Amino acid sequence: MFLRMQRRHALLAMVLPHVLLVLLPLVSQVWSGGWAAFGLLFVASTLVGCMGVTVGLHRYFSHRSFKAPREMHRLIGIVSCMAAQGPVTYWVALHRLHHTFSDEPGDPHSPNPRAWKMPDTLSGRLRAFWQGHCGWVWRHDVPMPTRYARDLMSDPVMAWVDRRYPVWVLLSVLIPTAFGAWYQGGWSGALWGFYWGAVVRLVIVHHMIWIVNSLSHTWGRRGSDTTDTSRNLWLLALVTFGEGWHNNHHARPTLARMGWNWRQPDPGWWFICSLQRMGLVHSVKG
Ligand SMILES: [Zn+2]
Ligand SMILES: [Zn+2]
């Protein structure tokens, strides 16, 4: 049953946006709107990718690196679900499994051949890289939430958020579509908003976190001597809101800050600092 649910979710939330990304420009005027299209894409990707994925799902829910009052906790949960990477409890359990078995059998998304018992040859490494990047979403073991996400299982706010996961994903598609209809007018405007605010944004945010799983365990510098293959990659850090400082993160996973000095820019950390300055979050571990 889990396998059927996984595959249905992967098809709808991950494969379908890639297909639409290629097909929609062939049948509609999605290239209209010029810079407004990139503005919409930038705002939607930043909101969902930064607040939802790196700050929400990763630093807040998975590692508890800061605290938030009840309604902010709920809002972060809702925005996290808008990334369409599964309910919060599922994402967190899967990510904690990654930290438990990093690059060993049991790691759900390692790009390392030994994690998949593949030969350490060029073909084995390429197959493991694909599996670690996105092949895993098609079939992977589901960790026991009672073991890996016990804190969220006993959290009534998170139960409320996770029960409505399809609603939040749908909202994340409908809001930019409605914006497009208002801004550009009519059905073609709605399709324009749907394309840039939902389809392209979904694809970008999926790859944003997948590339951290794959590339950040393959290529880059190691500042800390961790037992896994995690790396720091500055170019990746810039386009993943700081997630590219992945070796730092594996060395000290409970820190909200992934870039440890001024030469390691970390937009996710800046975002958390802004929320703290506004009094929206507190007890930040930096
Ligand atoms: Zn990792
Ligand atoms: Zn982590």
Task: Report angle CA 116, 117, 119 to the nearest 5 degrees.
Answer: 115
Q: 221 alpha carbon to ligand 2 midpoint, in Å?
A: 18
Q: 31 alpha carbon to ligand 1 midpoint, in Å?
A: 36
* Secondary structure class of 218 (helix, strand, coil): coil
Handedness of CA 57, 58, 62, 65 (dihedral sign): negative
DSSP code of 49?
Answer: I
pLDDT confidence of residue 214: 95
Average pLDDT of the residues of the chain:
95
Report the distance separating Cα 132 and Cα 101, nearest Å.
Answer: 13
Furthest-apart CA pair in the chain: how many Å? 56
pTM: 0.94
Give the mean pLDDT of 201-219: 96
Backbone φ, ψ for residue 245 (5° rounding)? -85, 60
Q: 227 alpha carbon to ligand 1 midpoint, in Å?
A: 11
Q: 230 alpha carbon to ligand 1 midpoint, in Å?
A: 6
What is the amino acid identity at position 180? Answer: G
Backbone φ, ψ for residue 46 (5° rounding)? -70, -45
Ligand nearest, relative to CA of residue 111: 1
* Secondary structure class of 109 (helix, strand, coil): coil
67-100 pLDDT per residue, tens: 999 999 999 999 999 999 999 999 999 999 999 9
How far is the CA of 159 from the CAs of 87, 96, 146, 163, 245, in angstroms?
10, 19, 13, 6, 31
Structure tokens of 21? 């990304």
Ligand nearest, relative to CA of residue 109: 1
Ligand nearest, relative to CA of residue 230: 1
pLDDT confidence of residue 36: 93
Q: 58 alpha carbon to ligand 2 midpoint, in Å?
A: 6
109-162 pLDDT per residue, tens: 999 999 999 999 999 999 999 999 999 998 888 888 899 999 999 999 999 999
267-282 pLDDT per residue, tens: 999 999 999 999 999 9
pLDDT > 70 in the chain, percent: 100
Ligand nearest, relative to CA of residue 107: 1
Structure tokens of 112? 């390392």
Q: 39 alpha carbon to ligand 1 midpoint, in Å?
A: 31
Give the DSSP H or E segment for 151: helix 150-153
Residue 119 has, within 13 A of its CA and on its CB side, a CA count of: 3
Report the distance separating Cα 184 and Cα 169, nearest Å.
Answer: 23
Q: 194 alpha carbon to ligand 2 midpoint, in Å?
A: 31
| Per-residue pLDDT at 1 exceeds 80 | no
Q: 232 alpha carbon to ligand 2 midpoint, in Å?
A: 14
pLDDT confidence of residue 62: 98
CB atoms within 10 A of CB 105: 10
pLDDT confidence of residue 30: 87
| Per-residue pLDDT at 44 exceeds 90 | yes
CB atoms within 10 A of CB 221: 9
Q: 214 alpha carbon to ligand 2 midpoint, in Å?
A: 14
244-265 pLDDT per residue, tens: 999 999 999 999 999 999 999 9
Cβ atoms of 54 and 243 closer than 8 Å: yes
Q: 268 alpha carbon to ligand 2 midpoint, in Å?
A: 13
Q: 195 alpha carbon to ligand 1 midpoint, in Å?
A: 31
Ligand nearest, relative to CA of residue 64: 2
Ligand nearest, relative to CA of residue 95: 2
| Per-residue pLDDT at 2 exceeds 80 | no
| Per-residue pLDDT at 31 exceeds 90 | no
pLDDT confidence of residue 124: 93
Report the distance separating Cα 47 and Cα 53, nearest Å.
Answer: 9
Q: 250 alpha carbon to ligand 1 midpoint, in Å?
A: 6
User: How big is the chain by its Cα radius of gyration, in Å?
Assistant: 19
pLDDT confidence of residue 174: 98
